[in-house]
Amino acid sequence: MLNIKNLHVAVGGEEIIKGLDLEVGPGELHAIMGPNGSGKSTLGYALAGRDGYEVTDGSVEFDGRDLLELEVEQRAAAGLFLALQYPVEIPGVNNAYFLRAALNAQRKARGEEEVDSMAFLKTVREQLKALKMDEALLKRAVNEGFSGGEKKRNEIVQLAVLQPKLAILDETDSGLDIDALKLVAEGVNRLRDENRSFIVITHYQRLLEYLVPDRVHVLSDGRIAESGDRSLAQRLEREGYAFLDTAEA
């Protein structure tokens, strides 16, 4: 699904990712943990193609294509989704309208037929219900006046409607209370299948109790310093990231 080789990413001339290798197979869920400033969010933005995140070396193959060749919206249409740590507000733009415009833009780019508003509303309502979100949110402007938790759940609604091949969740758990966290995890678990992959960026082991990862990676200073199964996450929770220094020394 995703094959990253020797990836280097610079932001404002400063190298943040310094030779990262990562392979995520179809249906796998990988967790990426690591201390602040280790480059976790940068990785997410670089994969999504955000301006200012300059790939200086390496390659990324996504679903058989060279991901780095594609524009941001082409990556989305190809099946890449990034749930933002801080979802953006778009005043005056109705949430339902936004989501449908996005879905149809992607479908159009893939040569698929556009979804009519009835079919669309039905899907969205189901997703909202599953995430215990009020339908009134559809009529509100995108993320405007949403609480932190609502914004994060709204990202999962988008994820569920857009049905990507690979979803990167950037600290989707931060700022969520335990009930909201469970809802988000359930939402993600419902979407897991043998073809859809996930990269879950998180600070805390907590989320991984609900989203069982196939692999856990520790990012440190722009590289993957350690990989393992879910027990690695538990160890980090107990011992913190201090072992990284000793491992490197």
Partner 1 sequence: MSETQQQVEELIQSRYKAGFYTDIESESVGAGLNEEIIAMISAKKDEPEWMLEWRLKAFHHWQTMTGPNWAKLNLPGIDFQKIHYYSAPKQKDRPKSLDDVDPKLLETFDKLGVPLHERARLAGVAVDAVFDSVSVGTTFQKELKEAGVIFCSFSEAVQEHPELVREYLGSVVPYRDNYFACLNSAVFSDGSFVYIPEGTKCPMELSTYFRINARDTGQFERTLIIAEPGAEVSYLEGCTAPMRDENQLHAAVVELVARKKAKIKYSTVQNWYPGDENGKGGIYNFVTKRGDCREDDSRISWTQVETGSAITWKYPSCILRGDRSAGEFYSVALTHNHQQADTGTKMIHLGKNTSSKIISKGISAGKSSNSYRGLVRVARKADGARNYTQCDSLLIGKTCGAHTFPYIESANPTAKIEHEATTSRIGEDQLFYCQSRGLDEEEAVALIVDGFCKEVFKELPMEFAVEAKALLEISLEGAVG
Residue ranges binding partner 1 (CB under 8 A): 48-52, 71-73, 75-77, 81-82, 84, 87-88, 90-93, 98-99, 101-103, 105-106, 109, 141-142, 158, 162
Report in angstroms how near the CB of residue 110 gets to partner 1 at its nearest. 10
> Which residue lies nearer to partner 1 by CB, 96 or 224?
96
Q: Looking at this protein, which amino acid is placed at residue 239?
A: E
For 84, 86, 153, 238, the CA distances from 143, given in Å and listed in that order, are 12, 10, 10, 35
| 73-98 per-residue burial string, b: 16 or more CB within 10 A, e: under 16 | eebbbbbbbbbbbebeeeeeeebbeb
Nearer to partner 1, 106 or 220 (CB): 106
Kindly tell me which of 3 and 94 has the beta carbon lying closer to partner 1. 94
Q: Considering the complex, what minimum distance in angstroms separates the CB of residue 79 from partner 1?
A: 10
Number of continuous H segments (helices) and E segments (strands) in the chain: 8, 12
Minimum gap (Å) between residue 39 Cβ and partner 1: 18
**What is the token pair recorded at 108?**
């159009």
Least separation in angstroms between residue 163's CB and partner 1 is 12
Q: For partner 1, which is the closer residue by CB, 124 or 236?
A: 124
Of 9, 22, 16, 23, nearest to 222 by C-alpha is: 16
> From the CB of 21, what's the least distance to partner 1, in Å?
24
Q: Which is nearer to partner 1, 17 or 80 (CB)?
A: 80
3-state helix, strand, coil in the chain (%, to 5): 40, 30, 30
